[in-house]
Structure 1
Amino acid sequence: MAPHPDRPAAGHRSLPHTADTRIEAWAPDRERCLAEAVTGLVASFADLADLAGAPPRRGVTAHLPPAADEDLLVALLDEVIYRLEVHGELPLAAEVAAAPDGGLDVRLAMAAAEAVQAVGALPKAVSLHGLHLTRGSADGGWSCAFTVDV
């Protein structure tokens, strides 16, 4: 993903995709790119304005063991989908940090899903087709893209 002078240093966007949702995220570093991916996933089905005003329910931490970057992206997004399906929660915010063992330490501030207005179909899974997380552009930033099965 090439840098754009009018685009913020970190962010996400949804792209048209047949019957599913395609999301791109970018940031100066890998961990922030992963956190943007979480926000992009949530924005694909929940109103972010509602999310900003939703009361936090609890904090959740997770450790993702060492793996290839793309596998870490999938594991993180699967964690969010699991918590949505099983606990009826979605993250208000995500903090992602590199763990000493090469994995990731993740902190999610969770809110009740019913506190936020749905604006799209709920995610079912992350497709491995077309998935990437890479250090790319001339500015040294990171980008990722993934398709969400809905």
Structure 2
Amino acid sequence: MRRGAHRSVPHTADLRVEAWGPTREECLAQAVRGVCESFLDLTGAAGVRTRKVPVRADSDADALVALLEEVVYWLDTEDEVPVDMELTPIAGGLHAVLRMADGASLPVTGAAPKAVTLHGLEVAGGPQGWTCSVTVDV
């Protein structure tokens, strides 16, 4: 089984991220990391506080959207971004432990995310692991 990773994909006026991992949780975490790395240089970034967040979701795609909405929320309200996370499945979603860095302390490399779109949203598991694709308005 391949290791988790992510990449940005060219997309007109938005950000598109594809991610993969051996588990659903690793795949979703890679997608979040890919979005965060699209607008900040996370090299050497360290979490300065921990946020424990219940992520309610009826489907795997809903879980990805909810996680990314958390990123947008914490960025907008506290200027924080997750630099590491632990995702644990729970009934009705995920329990997320997000280790947050101060966004203002990190070099800006692109436009910050504003919203997650549902167009082209994909999350799927198979014998080779999990994959997902998401488009984010910037």
The partner residue of 1:28 within 22, 35, 44 is 22
Mapped partners of 1:55, 1:75: distance in 2: 23
Question: For residue 147 of structure 1, what is the amino acid of its counterpart?
Answer: T
Bigger fraction of residues in strand: 2
Return the alpha-carbon distance in structure 1 between the equivalents of residues 108 and 100 of structure 2. 16
Q: Assess if the C-alpha contact under 8 Å between 1:62 and 1:107 holds in 2.
A: yes
The alignment's TM-score, normalised by the length of structure 2, stands at: 0.94
> What TM-score, normalized by structure 1, do the two folds share?
0.87
Cα deviation, residue 38, structure 1: 1.0
Does 2:120 correspond to 1:112? no
The equivalent position to 1:42 in structure 2, one of 26, 36, 46, is 36
Can you give the 5+ residue segments of structure 2 that lack an aligned partner in the other structure? none
> What CA RMSD, in Å, does the superposition of the two structures yield over aligned residues?
1.4
The amino acid of 1:145's aligned partner reads S
Identity %: 47
SS of corresponding position for 2:13: coil
Take 2:101 and 2:42, find their aligned partners in 1: how far apart are those partners?
Answer: 12
- Structure 1 runs (4+) deviating above 3 angstroms are none
